[in-house]
Amino acid sequence: MSFSFSNFFKSDKPKPSEVNIPKIEFGGGTKYASNNENDMYLDFEELGGFPFIKTIIIGRFNTATKRTGCELSFILKNEILKLQSDKNDIESTEIKNSKVYFTEIDFELNDEDLKKINNNLVNEIVYTFKNKKIHFLPIDL
């Protein structure tokens, strides 16, 4: 048996991708999509007669975006529907020191876009931030 300094200095900490993320039960929305590390909740709402989409990402995803907002893309069968976030500043909030984050983002919507989303099969949903993309697959409702 030989001694090695490289083994001596190795960390026993698991890599971030190996850390188990606790599942958070969220009753404030409809679970719409997920990926390996996050759940996405989506609800269509109306304020003052104007429809909008309220989305919430819960999981490992963490961001702080200033002045640029983000874009939400619905990949449909024959087209891609792109929506711009309602606000330009977006920030994730850590849930009680759990390494799980809560990110709420609203998107402007018109009646035509709402019909397209409701009447078509959504194949994929993509959030595009300044230098990040996060992909989700819809769950069977």
* Nearest Cα residue to 99 out of 10, 9, 13: 13
Average pLDDT, the chain: 83
Residue 47 confidence (pLDDT): 87
Report the first-to-last Cα separation within the chain, whole angstroms: 57
Predicted TM-score (pTM) of this structure? 0.79
The rounded distance, in Å, linking the Cα atoms of 42 and 138 is 10
- Asked whether residue 32 carries a pLDDT value surpassing 80, the answer given is yes
Pinpoint the alpha helices (H) of 9-137: 111-119
Residue 22 has pLDDT above 90, yes or no: no
Average pLDDT in the 9-19 region? 46
Q: Which domains does the chain have, with CATH numbers?
A: 25-138 (2.60.40)
What does the pLDDT read at residue 124?
96
Asked whether residue 103 carries a pLDDT value surpassing 80, the answer given is yes
